[in-house]
């Protein structure tokens, strides 16, 4: 991301009617998502419109935005096919003045090692635990079905095996 409106890490005096994200390349038309949240609650999420290198997510008029800090999160598919994720923060202060011009020329706040938003790590950890627990349940169920299936065998030689008399 090379720019945004509202600008990253700034304070705006009016609730924005949309969020615009500008990227260095042209995003593909599929699998793009932008979300606006406050205090961990997603207020609006959806597939943005694309105009060249700019993605726009309209904020419906019925979304109430009170003063406070907002997070814009995004996941896009780049023109080369790889996913790009990130997030940034802006503040709404209807009583104070806005700082910045409303357009950012910076990078989004992401996890330095993976390029993922900071909330994605814990979410992936929880998903991993769920997958491991699911695999454990399947393994226990298979073990039990195998144990109950072998209990019918007596260990005696079968009809096709010779008996020693």
Residue 54's nearest CA partner among 83, 24, 10, 75 is 24
| 23 & 80 share domain | yes
Number of structural domains, the chain? 2
| 93 & 143 share domain | no
Q: What is the pLDDT along the chain (165 residues), one digit of tens a residue?
A: 999 999 999 999 999 999 999 999 889 988 899 999 999 999 999 999 999 999 999 999 999 999 999 999 999 998 888 889 999 999 999 886 544 444 444 444 444 444 555 555 565 556 556 766 666 677 777 778 777 765 555 555 555 555 565
Instruction: Assign residue 20 the CATH number of its domain.
Output: 2.60.40.1220
Residue 25's nearest CA partner among 48, 2, 57 is 2
Q: What is the pTM of this model?
A: 0.59
- Which pair of tokens denotes residue 111? 């996890």
Range of the domain at 124: 119-149
103 vs 19: CA distance, rounded Å: 11
């Amino acid at each position: 991301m090379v720019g945004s409106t509202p600008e990253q890490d700034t304070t705006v005096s009016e609730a924005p009617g949309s969020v615009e994200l500008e990227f260095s390349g042209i995003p593909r038309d599929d699998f793009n998502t932008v979300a606006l949240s406050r205090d961990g609650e997603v207020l609006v999420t959806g597939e943005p419109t694309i105009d060249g290198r700019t993605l726009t997510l309209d904020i419906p008029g019925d979304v109430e935005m009170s003063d406070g800090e907002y997070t814009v999160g995004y996941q896009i598919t780049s023109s080369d096919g790889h996913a790009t994720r990130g997030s940034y923060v802006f503040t709404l202060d209807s009583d104070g003045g806005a700082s910045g011009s409303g357009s950012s020329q910076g990078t989004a706040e992401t996890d330095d090692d993976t390029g993922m938003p900071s909330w994605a790590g814990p979410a992936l950890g929880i998903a991993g635990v769920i997958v491991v627990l699911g695999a454990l349940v399947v393994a226990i169920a298979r073990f039990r079905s195998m144990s109950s299936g072998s209990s019918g065998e007596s260990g005696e030689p079968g009809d096709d095996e010779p008996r020693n008399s």
